[in-house]
Amino acid sequence: MPEKTSAPAFNRLITTIALLLTFILLTRTPIDADMWWHLRSGEEIVTQGQILLKDIFSYTRFGADRVNAYWMAASFLYLIFDFGSYFALAGFVALIGVATFSIIARQMRGPAFMRASLIILAAITAAPIWSPRPQLFSFFFLAILDYWLSVLKKDEKARFWLLVPFFALWANLHGGYIWGILLLIAHLIGEVFNKWLGRECLPAKTRKNLSLYTIFALFAVLINPNGIELWLLPFRTLGVSPGIQEWLSPDFHQISFQPMLWMLFLFIFALANTAKKLNFRDLFKVMGFTYMTFISQRNIAPYAIILLPVLSRQFSFFWDEEIAPRVFQLGARFSTNSQPKQLPLKLTHLINGFLVSLIVIAALGNLYILTRPTTVDENYPVHAVEWIKENQPEGALFNSYNWGGYLIWNLREYPVFIDGRADLYGEELIGQWKQVAIGGEVAQQILNEWDVHLILLEPSWAVVDELSQYGWELLYEDEMSVVYGR
C-alpha cells in the first residue's frame, strides 16, 4: 500500500485558510444605510404576518404601492438580527461570503496556493458592497447557477426543471434574479458562437433544454406577490438611480475599487500568455459582467463571482505551459538524490488544526470588535435622535437621505421624507430632496408644500447655512448633525 503523504492535507489547509481570510475580509461593521429599512420591513412582515406591498414608513409616499422583491430575505435578516443583534448579522454576512466563494472554488483550477490567492483577491474586490442586505442572496444564487452551468456538459441527467423553483425562490429574495437571467443568456449566446466557429460546445439536446428552461425561468419570476411588476423593477430602478452612489461607475481613485482592475489585468495577462483559447461561454459572461460593473459599482461582487473561476482556469493553463516546466527544471538542477523528509501525517494534521484554530479565534475576535453597538453608533446621528425622542418636537420631518433607513428603524414615531428606496420615491421626490439640500427660495417652497416643521441633516448641506434667515430655529447641534424647527 502506498504511503500517505501530507500534500493533500497541505492543499486543504491552504484552501481553508483562504476561506477563513475571506470571512475576515467580508466582516464589516453593519452600517449600510439601506440595512435599516430592510430590517424594519422584515420586522413588520414577521410580526404582522403579511407581506408589505404598500409604503408605511414615509409621509411623502405613504400608502403607495411598491414592489417588494426582497420580502423573504428581509424577514430572514430580521430574524438573524433579532436572535443575535449586530454580531449575528455581520457573522451571517461573512458566512454567506464564505459559502459563495466555496462554491466558486469548486470550479477553479491550478495549484492550491494560486487558487487561494485568487479567492482572496476576489473577496477584496467584492468587499466594498458586501453588506447586510438582500443582495447577498443574489450573490450566493449567482455562484450556484454559474457552478451548475459549468458542470452541465458532464451531467447527462441534468435536472433543467430545477431552474423553475430556483428562479421563483430567487425572485422572492431579491431583484438580482436579473443577474441570473443575464448569465443564462450569455451562456446561450456563447454556445451559438461555439457552434458557429467549431469550438467545443454542449450537445444539441442540452442546448435546446437550456434554452427552453431559460424561458420557463423568466416566467417563474412571476411567482411572487408583486406579479409582473417584478419584471419591470430593474428598468424602473435604472431610471431613478444614476445620482445614487452605488449606481455610479466605480471611482478608481479609491483604493477599495482598484482590485477590480487587478483581476481584469490578471485575466488579460493570462489570456495573452497561453495557447488555450477562451470558450465563448466564458468570454461573453465575463464581458457582460465587466461592462455592467464599469457602468455601476453595485455590480462589482457579481463581476468577481463570475470572473474568478474563468481567471483561475486561464491562469492554470499559463502555469502549466510556462511556469511549471521552469520550476521543474530549476528544481532538478538543485535537487539531490536524497528524498525530502516529511512530517508524520498525524503531526501534520495537528499543526494544521492549530493554525486553523488560531485564525478562527482571530476571525471571531475581529467580528466581535467590529460589531460593538458603539462602533455602529459612531456612523449615525444617535444623540440627535435621542434628543428628538426626549423632546418630541411636532411636525413633519425632513431628513438626510443617508439617514432615512436608520430613522425608519430608530425613530419610528416620525415618518421619513425619503430613504434609500429609490424605486418608491422616483425622480420627482429625489429631485425635490436634492433641491432642498442645496437651499434657496425653491427649497423653502418645497418645505412649505410638505408642511415640514422639523429638519435633521448633516451640517455640511448648503441649506443649513440659510435656515435661520427663513425663520427656522436651531434646536440641537453636534459635530454630526443639526436639528432645526419652526
Would you say 397 and 455 are in contact if contact means Cβ atoms under 8 Å apart?
yes
- The pTM score is 0.92
Q: At 459, which amino acid appears?
A: P
Residue 455: enclosing H or E segment and its boundaries?
Answer: strand 452-457
What is the reported pLDDT for 332? 62
All three cell numbers of 452 = 415640514
Q: Which residue has the cell 423632546?
A: 391
Q: What are phi and psi of 156, to 5 degrees?
A: -70, -20
Rounded to whole angstroms, the Cα distance separating 190 from 196 reads: 10
What are 113-159's pLDDT values in tens digits? 999 999 999 999 999 999 999 999 999 999 999 999 999 877 667 89
What is the reported pLDDT for 2? 44
What is the reported pLDDT for 3? 46
Rounded to whole angstroms, the Cα distance separating 445 from 451 reads: 10
Would you say 72 and 52 are in contact if contact means Cβ atoms under 8 Å apart?
no
H-type helices in 273-344, by residue range?
A: 280-295, 300-318, 324-334
Q: What are phi and psi of 454, to 5 degrees?
A: -145, 135
Residue 312: exposure state from Cβ atoms within 10 A (0-12, 13-18, ≥19):
buried
Rounded to whole angstroms, the Cα distance separating 437 from 464 reads: 8
> pLDDT under 50 in the chain at which residues?
1-3, 242
All three cell numbers of 65 = 404601492
What are 229-267's pLDDT values in tens digits? 888 777 666 555 545 677 788 999 999 999 999 999 999
Rounded to whole angstroms, the Cα distance separating 339 from 470 reads: 86
439: left (phi over 0), alpha (psi -120 to 50) or beta: left
Calculate the CA 348 to chain-centre distance: 37
Distances, alpha carbon 58 to alpha carbons 71, 316, 421, 433, in Å: 18, 53, 11, 13
Under 8 Å CB-to-CB from 101, ≥6 apart: which residues? 19, 22, 119, 122, 123, 143, 308
